[in-house]
Amino acid sequence: MTDDRAPAAPVPHRLYVHDDLTDDVRARHGAGSPAVALAEELLALVRRDAARVTILTLPAQLEALAACGPFPPFALAIGIGHAGRRVAAQVHARTGWFPTITTVDLTREENGDGYAVISLSGTPVAAQLAGAEAAASLAIVDDTVFSGITMRTLLAALSPAARARAHAFCLRGVADSLPPLQRLCPISVGFSAAGSLLDEISFINASGLVRRGAIRRAGQPPLAFFERAAWMRAWFPSDADAIIDRCRRLNAWLEPDGGASLPMP
């Protein structure tokens, strides 16, 4: 499955790749497995363009986000998708800030004219946030703020009174995307990168290179990044073909069903 109908992506001056892949593959398939060897080959190729590509690790981002505190425990933490819930749990294990965590299943989807924020379950966001209005304090948690459209959609769905009790958190974000969110509520970020979206900086998860669901499209099956060759060549101009090859082979290990059973993001 390939898809090159998306708009061409510029070659970013700096690409940040969060390595959420290596430990996951090791845990699922064992330290000496062919899958781990492929994941290590893939990350070695990704980091080879060291002048442009920076690998981000979870411990460093968690440590930096924890240093934004301390905060008293929040009455309710809302994770945006499974990724946000996972981050909330990781932060709580480090800080104790989020004893009660729930999930709102929002994700960004291509619709031909740009992007829309949708609920994969079809449940309106207002209904998913019903319990948030009564919470004495709210944490809104995501893994990445790139354009900020997903977090902005969630914050806009809260009442002004609930937003006044809210504080947003993310592990990593684009500095230029933060001011519109900060006008809605305070936000703490573990790692912030300065520069304009796409042409100066871009963020991706290493898992998204391999696993389907990184790209969601209205009325069409989801894709992994390796299935959109134009983006891969923009991100990795010198090594795109080799990286795509490792991604395809690793995908066969991680999604032998072709990604037919995808979790919510």
State residue 196's pLDDT score. 87
Q: Examine residue 161 and state whether it is found in any structural domain, yes or no.
A: yes
Q: Examine residue 114 and state whether it is found in any structural domain, yes or no.
A: yes
Res 2 pLDDT > 80: no
Q: Examine residue 192 and state whether it is found in any structural domain, yes or no.
A: yes
State residue 7's pLDDT score. 55
State residue 198's pLDDT score. 84
Q: What is the CATH number of the domain that holds 23?
A: 3.40.50
Res 1 pLDDT > 60: no
Q: Examine residue 262 and state whether it is found in any structural domain, yes or no.
A: no
Confidence of residue 6 (pLDDT cuts 50, 70, 90): low
Confidence of residue 106 (pLDDT cuts 50, 70, 90): very high
Model pLDDT for residues 206-238, shown as the tens digit of each residue: 999 999 999 999 999 999 999 999 999 999 999
**Other CB atoms closer than 10 Å to residue 10's CB: what's the count?**
12
Confidence of residue 263 (pLDDT cuts 50, 70, 90): very low
What values do phi and psi take at 81, rounded to 5? Answer: 70, 180
Res 178 pLDDT > 90: yes
Confidence of residue 78 (pLDDT cuts 50, 70, 90): very high
pLDDT (mean) for 35-59: 97
Q: Which string of b and e fits 121-157 if b means at least 16 CB within 10 Å?
A: eeeebeebbeebeebeebbbbbbbbbbbbbbbbbbeb
Q: Are strands 76-80 and 101-104 parallel, antiparallel or unpaired?
A: parallel
How many residues are listed for the chain in this entry?
265
Res 21 pLDDT > 80: yes
Residue 67 belongs to domain spanning: 1-257
Q: Examine residue 263 and state whether it is found in any structural domain, yes or no.
A: no
Separation between Cα atoms, residue 179 and residue 249, nearest integer Å: 40
Confidence of residue 197 (pLDDT cuts 50, 70, 90): confident
State residue 89's pLDDT score. 98
Separation between Cα atoms, residue 26 and residue 253, nearest integer Å: 12
Res 137 pLDDT > 60: yes
Q: Examine residue 5 and state whether it is found in any structural domain, yes or no.
A: yes
Q: Examine residue 169 and state whether it is found in any structural domain, yes or no.
A: yes
Domains: count for the chain? 1
